[in-house]
Structure 1
Amino acid sequence: MNVALTCFFLWKRFMPFLCIIVFFSACKTIETPINPYDNSLYFSNGRKFSTIPFKMVNNLIIIPLRLNKSDTMNFILDTGVRTALLIGLRTGDSLQLKYARKIKIKGLGEGEDVEAIHSFGNRIDLPGIYGINQDILILLQDVFFFSSKLGMRIHGILGYDMFKNFVVDINYERKELLLRHHSRFKIKKKDNVIPISVEEGKPYVKAKIMSDDNNWVDVKLIVDTGASHALSLDIFSNANIRLPSKIRDAYLGRGLNGDIRGKIGRIKSFHLGGFELDNILTSFPDSASLRHVVDVAERRNGNVGAEILKRFHLTFDYLNQRMIVRPNAYFKKPFVYNMSGIEISTPVPGLPLYVISDIEEDSPAERAGLKKGDQLLYLNNKLAFQYSLNEIIALFQSKAGRKIVISVQRNGVVMRFEFALEKPI
C-alpha cells in the first residue's frame, strides 16, 4: 500500500489564517516503467517525439501539466530550477501527494529561508509525456505572486526534469516546444553550437560583456528561461564587472526569499556564441538580495534571461552539454523598459481586473498622482478590461513621449490622470 497525503486548503470564515487539514489514504500503484525507481520522463503511447504548445506572458513559458492525475495546471518552464515547485495552493485546492519531510530552501531575495514540503513518488503528465517517482517541493507560502503578476493562475515551476531526459527545442516565435530522444537528434552543418555545463541541474554558459570602458569581460551565466529580464550581473563576483555610468535604483522582481532590489542600467554589448547584442538593459542586484547565493559566487557571474533568450530558436541538449542557438524575428528588437513606473497585477488571476501593485518613486505615473492600490478603469480611452496584461506591458514599453491617460478608482472615487512615458536610462 502506498500512503498518500491529501491536502485540502480551507479558509476559516471567522479566522484570519489559512489552515491545512491533512489525512492519509491508500492509493493504487500507478503504471510504471520497467524500473519502478526510475524518475525519468517518457514518451507515452509509443511516441518518438512530443510537441507542446505554450503560452508566453511577460517572456515566461507557461506549459500545461497534470500532477497525480489532477486537473490541468499551469507550470512555468524554468531552466534555472532543479526540482519542480508547487506554489500558490489556494482555498479549496485538493491534490494527492506523497509526503516526505518539511525542509527550508534558499534563493534570491532579502528575506529569510522559506519552508517547503519535499514530496516524492509523484506522477506528472504533459502532452505526450509522463513520469513517475517525481520529486516535488511544495511551498507553504505563495512567495512569488506569479498568478497576480502574470494575469493567470500559475500552479508551479518545472525545470531540470524536463531537460535531462530529452533534447528540448524552444520556438519562441511559434510558442511551441519540441521534445525528442537524444538518439534522434542530429546537429546540422550551419547550427551554432555553444558548450554549456550542467551543474546541480542548471545550465551555465560562457559569454562576454562590454561596459562603458569598452573592455570585454568574460562571464559565466546561468541560462534562465524563468527570468523575464534580459541580463542580470553580480558586480560582487568579479571586480571587472562595473556599473554603467547611467543607472537608477530599481525594484528588480521577487525571488524565493523575497524582494530583489538593486540598480538597472545598460551595458554596451553582449556576446554569446558568435552573436552580439547591443545596448542591453541589465539588472545589478544589491548584496542583500544575493546574500543566500554567496556560496556560488565563484561559479557564476549572473544569469541571461528570457528577454535575450527569446531572440533565438533554442535547442538544449543536456546529455551532450550543448545548446544550439539560431536568431529569430525578435533578434533585432530593441531592449525596452517600462517607461511609466507602474507595475500592474491582477487580484483575481484570469479576470481582466487590473490594480497598480507598485509604483516607482519620481516616475511619470507617480508625479501625475497615481498611487499603489489604484484600480484601472480606462486606459487611453479604452476600458481596462479590454486589454490583456501583455498589451498593457507593451503599451508602457512602447515609445518615449507617448501620452498615457488613465482613469482609476480610489476609495470609491473615480479619478483621471495624464502623463507622458519617459525613457529613464
Structure 2
Amino acid sequence: MRIPKIFIYILFTLSFYAKAQSNYKLNDNIKSQKIEFELINNVILIPIEVNGVALKFLLDTGVSKPIIFNFIKGSDSLKILNSEKIKIKGLGDGDYIDALRSSHNNFKIGEAINTDQTLFAVFDSRINLAPKLGTPIDGIIGYDIFKDFIVEINYASRYIRLYNPTRYKYKKCNRCEVLDLEFKDNRPYLNANVTMQDKLVPVKLLMDSGGSDALWLFEDKTKGLVLSDKYFEDFLGSGLSGDVYGKRTKIEALNINQFTINKPKVAFPDSVMVNAVKKFKDRDGTIGGEILKRFNLIVDYTNAKITFKKNSSFNNAFSYNKSGLQVEHDGVRVVMEINVEENNAHIRSEKSNTLSVNSIVKTNRDFSLKPTFVIHNVVKNSPAYWAGVQKGDVILSINSKNAFDLKLNQIVNHFYKKSGTKIKLLVARHGYEKAFEFRLKSPVE
C-alpha cells in the first residue's frame, strides 16, 4: 500500500526547546530489547506507553522530540504533565497553531524507560496520520530513541531491537555496506549516487524512515538533478497549510555503495516545498521507507554510521498508482445489514396422515459501525478523472466488494494492479449513488 506522506517537517524545528538531555535506559541485566512493529505504507509503527497509557507511534529517524497529535482515545487518562502553551507555525503561509510543550513524562518502549521525556502535544486536527494510514496513530518519535541505543531495524521480520551502545559488538558481514552519517539539527544524512540520463550524480539524502515515498530529489540543474521527459504531476502529501504537489518519475538507478536499486520511483516536490524543508543547504533530497524497507539496518547515531544489508524485498519492482485516486479513511458510519433466515416447519395432518413442509422466512436487520473511505484527491487527466470521479466522493464498493468490509490498504492495492485492469466504483455523492468504470493506466507510459 502506498499513500503520500503527511508533512510535519516544520515541527522538527522544535528541537531548540529541548536543551536538557533525557535518556532511555535498560536494566543492566538486559542485553537488548526486541520490539515487534507494524509496517503500514512503508512506515514503522511501534507500541509505546506514555504516562501509563498504551499508544501507537510512528518511528521517524529525523524527528527531534516526540509529537502527540491524536490522543483523543486516551484523553481521559493520558496526563500532559508540566505543560506550557506555545505557538508553532505549519508548512506554508498558514497561521500559527496552538500546542503544548510538556516535560518530565514517563515513556516506556518495551523495557526501555525514560522518566524525563519532553513531548509536544498538537491539537490541530489536520495533523493526523490516521486517515492516510487507515489505522489510529497517536504520535511520532525518533531521535530520542536513536541517540540512546544502537537500533537494529529488521524490516523483513518486522521488529526493532535496542542495544546498549557500550555493550554492542559489530559482527563481520561481507554482504553489508556501512555508511557514515552526517547530522544537522539532530537529523541524519547519508551520501549516495543516482544515475540520471546516463550521468552518475552524487547526492546527500536525509534518511527519513517516517516518509512512505521511495526517493525525493530537489531539482538542481547545476548538479544534474533534472527531470526526464516522462513525468506526471501528482499530489505528494498534506501540510498544515494545504496539500503539497510535485512531479513524479523514475530514474535509472540509486546506488548505496555496492547496492544498486534499479528504476526507483522519484518525487520532485515543487519549489515552495523545497524552500520550506531545505534547511541544510547541501541536502539534495530524501531516502524514504519504500527504499529503506528493502534492507535490514543497524542505525548507530553514537558512532554516526548505518549498516545496510539487503533483504527479500530488495528486488521488488516499483509501481505507481494507476488510477489517479488518493483515498483516505474518513471515520465510520452506521451500516444496516439484512440477514435472511429460512426455516422449514414440518406439519402432520391427523385426518389424512400426511406431512407438509412450510417455509418460515425471518428477516434480521443488524446495525453496526463500519469504516468510511473518501476520495481525497483526483489527479488531473488520470483514468478516474476522465471517468468523472470527484474529490469528496465516498466509496461504497469497489469491483463489487463492499468498501466497509475492506481495509484502506485493500482498497488502494486495487490501483496498483497491471495496466488495463478494470475498476468499478460505486460512490455516494450528495446523497445519491453514482457508478463509474475505468481501466488502470500507468502515468509514465
TM-score by length of 2: 0.81
2:144 alignment partner, SS class: helix
Does the aligned pair in 1 maintain the 2:398–2:425 contact within 8 Å? Answer: yes
1:195 matches 2:206: no
What amino acid maps onto 2:178 in structure 1? Answer: V
Aligned to 2:402: 383
Judge conservation of contact 1:67–1:123 (CA < 8 Å) in 2. Answer: yes
Deviates more, 1:168-177 or 1:228-237: 228-237
Measured in 2, the distance between the counterparts of 1:146 and 1:166 equals: 26
Q: Structure 1-normalised TM-score?
A: 0.85
Verify the 8 A CA contact 1:76 1:158 in the aligned structure 2.
yes
> For residue 6 of structure 1, what is the aligned residue in structure 2?
none
1:23-34 mapped onto 2 (5 Å cutoff): none
Instruction: Flag the 1:76–1:307 CA change in 2: closer, same or farther, 3 A.
Output: same
Q: 1:375 to 1:172 in 2, by over 3 A?
A: same
Q: Cα distance, 1:152 vs. partner?
A: 1.3
User: How far 1:319 sits from its partner (Å)?
Assistant: 0.7
Report 1:19-418 matches (<5 A): 39-44=22-27, 46-70=29-53, 72-90=54-72, 93-94=75-76, 95-105=78-88, 108-109=91-92, 111-182=94-165, 183-190=167-174, 191-212=176-197, 214-236=198-220, 239-255=223-239, 258-296=242-280, 298-348=281-331, 352-418=371-437
| Secondary structure at the counterpart of residue 164 of structure 1 | helix
Rounded Cα–Cα distance in structure 1 between residues aligned with 2:163 and 2:318: 32
Query: How many Å apart are 1:107 and its aligned residue?
Result: 6.5
In structure 2, how many angstroms separate the alpha carbons of the residues matched to 1:155 and 1:351? 21
CA separation in 2, counterparts of 1:281 and 1:117?
37
Partners of 1:334 and 1:280 lie apart in 2 by 8
Alpha-carbon distance between aligned partners in 2 of 1:231 and 1:111, rounded to the nearest angstrom: 27
Structure 1, residues 296-325: CA drift from partner, whole Å, max 9, x if none?
Answer: 2x2311110001001111110111111111
Partner of 1:34: none
Greater displacement, 382-391 / 334-343: 382-391
Secondary structure of the 1:314 match is: strand
Give the superposition deviation at 1:198: 2.8
Coordinate RMSD, CA, aligned = 2.2
1:47-78 deviations in whole A, cap 9, x for unaligned?
221111111111111111111112x1111001
Structure 1: distance between partners of 2:307 and 2:380: 41
Give how far 1:140 is off: 2.9
Matching residue of 1:17: none
Write the deviation string for residues 132-191 of structure 1: whole angstroms up to 9, x where unpaired: 211111223133331111111111000101111111111112111111112223132323
Bigger Rg over Cα: 2
Are the equivalent residues in 2 in contact too, given 1:38–1:132 (CA < 8 A)? no
**Does structure 2 conserve the Cα–Cα contact (< 8 Å) formed by 1:84 and 1:157?**
yes
With over 3 angstroms needed to count, the CA separation of the structure-2 counterparts of 1:274 and 1:174, relative to structure 1, is same
C-alpha separation in 2, matches of 1:208 and 1:110? 34
Change (3 A) 1:268 1:223: same
The Cα shift of 1:104 comes to: 4.1
Cα pair distance change 1:238/1:59, threshold 3 Å: farther
Q: Determine the C-alpha separation between the residues in 1 that align with 2:104 and 2:156.
A: 35
**Structure 2: how far apart are the matches of 1:383 and 1:114?**
38
Taking only the aligned residue pairs, the percentage that are identical comes to 34
Letter in 1 for 2:308: V
Alpha-carbon separation, structure 1, partners of 2:237 and 2:274: 13
Shift in Å at residue 223 of structure 1?
0.6
Take 2:192 and 2:98, find their aligned partners in 1: how far apart are those partners? Answer: 35
Aligned counterparts of 2:326 and 2:383: Cα–Cα separation in 1: 13
| Alpha-carbon offset, residue 414 of structure 1 | 2.2
Q: Name the CA shift for 1:87/1:377 in 2 (closer, same or farther; >3 Å).
A: same
One-letter code of the match for 1:364? Answer: P
Cα distance change, pair 398–49 in 1 and its aligned pair in 2 (3 A):
same
Q: Against the structure 1 CA distance between its residues 257 and 104, is the aligned structure 2 distance closer, same or farther, given a 3 Å change threshold?
A: farther
* Alpha-carbon distance in structure 2 between the residues aligned to 1:137 and 1:378: 39
Q: Give the distance between the partners of 2:202 and 2:81, measured in 1 at CA.
A: 44
Asked whether the 8 Å contact 2:151–2:300 carries over to 1, the reply is yes
Paired position in structure 2 for 1:422: 441
**Hey, what's the Cα distance between the residues in 1 that align with 2:287 and 2:91?**
15
Quick one: structure 1 residues 338 and 369, their matched pair in 2 at CA, closer, same or farther if it must change by over 3 Å? same
Instruction: Give the deviation of 1:381 after TM superposition.
Output: 1.7
Equivalents in 2 of 1:308, 1:241: separation in Å? 19
Judging changes above 3 Å, is the alpha-carbon distance between structure 1 residues 284 and 75 closer, same or farther for their aligned structure 2 residues? same
- One-letter identity of the residue aligned with 1:224: D
Cα distance in 2 between the residues matched to 1:385 and 1:83: 36
Change (3 A) 1:229 1:111: farther
The structural deviation recorded for 1:114 is 4.5
Amino acid at match of 2:371: P
For residues 103 and 45 of structure 2, what CA distance do their matches in structure 1 show?
Answer: 23
Q: Secondary structure at the match of 2:291?
A: helix
List alignment gaps of at least 5 residues for structure 2.
Answer: 1-19, 333-368
Q: Give deviations 1:363-417, integer Å, cap 9, x for gaps.
A: 1112112112222222112221232222222221121111111112222222221
